[in-house]
Homo-oligomer: A and B are copies of this chain.
Amino acid sequence: MTGSRRGDLFSPACPTRRLLDRLGTKWTSMAVKSLSDGGELRFTELRRRMPGVSQKMLSTTLQTLVADGLVARRVEDTVPPRVHYRLTELGASLEVPLSALREWAEQHMARIDDHRRRAGLG
């Protein structure tokens, strides 16, 4: 942090853009929400809470979140293995602004859809 960085908002390294890029991937926000609601969950439990997700995509999504430090992965050394996922503090802190965006979406997306229908693009 070198003081004011408003100019950075439009640099290729813009943190907002990179964050939205990730949240924009299909399953990321749903996984965060599921872990926020369910606490610590196993792989299959998580999968059940995310209708439509494939094993590969859930695995990839979780790997990204773990690498980002938003989700913690805990392996029980049993047979068969049990793997548990939960939000880290960082992940939980993201839930705050993210839930604000969710509220906005739930309140206003219907109007957006309506507008799009009239424009004939949606």
Contacts and interface: CB of A to CB of B under 8 A. Distances in A.
B20 A67 contact: no
Interface size class of A (residues with CB under 8 A): 35 or more
Number of copies: 2
Contacts of A69: 111-112, 115-116
A39 B15 CA distance: 23
B112 A70 contact: yes
Contact of A10 (B21, B49, B109): B49
Interface of A: 1, 5, 8-12, 14-21, 23-26, 29-30, 33-34, 49-52, 63-64, 66-70, 90, 93-94, 96-98, 100-112, 115-116, 119, 121-122
Contact of A16 (B5, B52, B101): B101
